[in-house]
Structure 1
């Protein structure tokens, strides 16, 4: 909902903090210190917020002063070097950040989001959100992200734990992954070949969910099994010369995916079938 209308590098920017694993990289955010090469160019964070703020001020003749100017995502903040939040303390507290030239950037209308794997052990043990879980997560965040400084923890605002998905939530993830595959199939065949699947297929893919790695587990299974089954059918389709002639059967309009159990097989397998218009 927050990022639905955002445009990358215009009013949304993601920083992969695994790239800031050494304190010397922090200057990428604000620009180098004076007398260093390129310090006048500013930093990635300060330049982005300044440009977003300028666009916000110009919107409707400057008539939307309370409008959020941009969204900044600090992804995997636990992978950054120690001291990052201390480096950004004034930015998170007052909404101001000075670049390498000494110019102050107004970030009060920027929305700052952070993601982290901190608290994963507490969540896996608890499984449900609550005051006790938030307290345990805050202790891990204080230790691993906030340099054991409570003043840094106090500037983080709301902490939202992501508890394990229910079965219904996992089905939605799998359905989204299948829709992405369907889009690839349609795009490669000029939208003339559609992909459909059964509810049984979704449930079968969900059984391959690994709670330790989440949706990546079913994404990998879809690529390994579903896409492989599709590839076999598409290869057969390309070699089927009858489907390319006007005298032959009508060209297929869809590929149907389902789960098929064979008595000799140790487990069900995914089957893809061409569906032709009549």
Structure 2
């Protein structure tokens, strides 16, 4: 694709020229590129119990050395199949060897663990706490509720992307309805808990 020709100019010369002859200097720029090539296989290797270093070794060998990289040994048939998929992607024009040779570092992202998902839940809930603070209310969420939301908001194909929507549907929307109904108001501490698969809301004293 033409975009890779543009990237070659950017990574080779450190500058980019548009169709009108205008040039932008990229010499002091860090370029970060992401790709999901091999993501399905990474997921399969993870589910099969492969170690993180084994998965990273497979990906780094493929990206840095290109087609024909020796993935024998620890990766076995897993690495052979992974390499075949990567070779196919390159033959289809997605990744060119001359582009790969200009990449300085490859970072492999593994599937999110439970601790990471819980931290993402905390980040999303922090935004809700800020909005409630504007209404002079506080928010307390139990670990059980966080784990329930994290479990429901994680998808094998999309990772944690549905998590924000799950928090909105399971916590934000019901809480908004309760606030409108007058169940919670200024000075209240809203406690969000879990009873089995159900998210429950209760009120604690502002001093607790």
TM bucket (normalised to shorter chain) is 0.7 to 0.9
Of 170, 184, 192, the match for 1:225:
170
Q: 1:103 Cα shift?
A: 4.5
User: 1:207 aligns to what SS in structure 2?
Assistant: helix
Q: TM-score, normalised by structure 1?
A: 0.56
Partner of 1:48: none
Q: 1:120 Cα shift?
A: 0.9
Q: Is the 8 A contact 2:137 2:187 kept in 1?
A: yes
Please say if 1:135 is aligned against 2:61. yes
Please say if 1:105 is aligned against 2:34. no
Partner of 2:111: 164
Please say if 1:214 is aligned against 2:162. no
Partner of 1:183: 130
1:146–1:183 Cα change, 3 Å: farther
Partner of 2:138: 194
Q: 1:84 Cα shift?
A: 0.7
RMSD of aligned residue pairs (Cα, Å): 2.7
Q: Is the 8 A contact 1:122 1:133 kept in 2?
A: no
Aligned residue pair count: 178
1:83–1:218 Cα change, 3 Å: same
1:111–1:145 Cα change, 3 Å: farther
Q: TM-score, normalised by structure 2?
A: 0.73
1:260–1:252 Cα change, 3 Å: farther
Q: 1:145 Cα shift?
A: 8.8
Partner of 1:253: 188
Q: Is the 8 A contact 2:56 2:108 kept in 1?
A: no
Partner of 1:275: 204
1:220–1:114 Cα change, 3 Å: same
Q: 1:164 Cα shift?
A: 0.2
Please say if 1:91 is aligned against 2:3. no
Q: 1:257 Cα shift?
A: 0.7
Asked which structure has the greater RCO (Cα within 8 Å, sep 6+), the reply is 2
Please say if 1:121 is aligned against 2:43. no
1:155-178 deviations in whole A, cap 9, x for unaligned?
Answer: 232121211011111111111122
Unmatched segments (≥5 aa) in structure 1: 1-81, 244-250, 262-267
User: 1:216 aligns to what SS in structure 2?
Assistant: coil
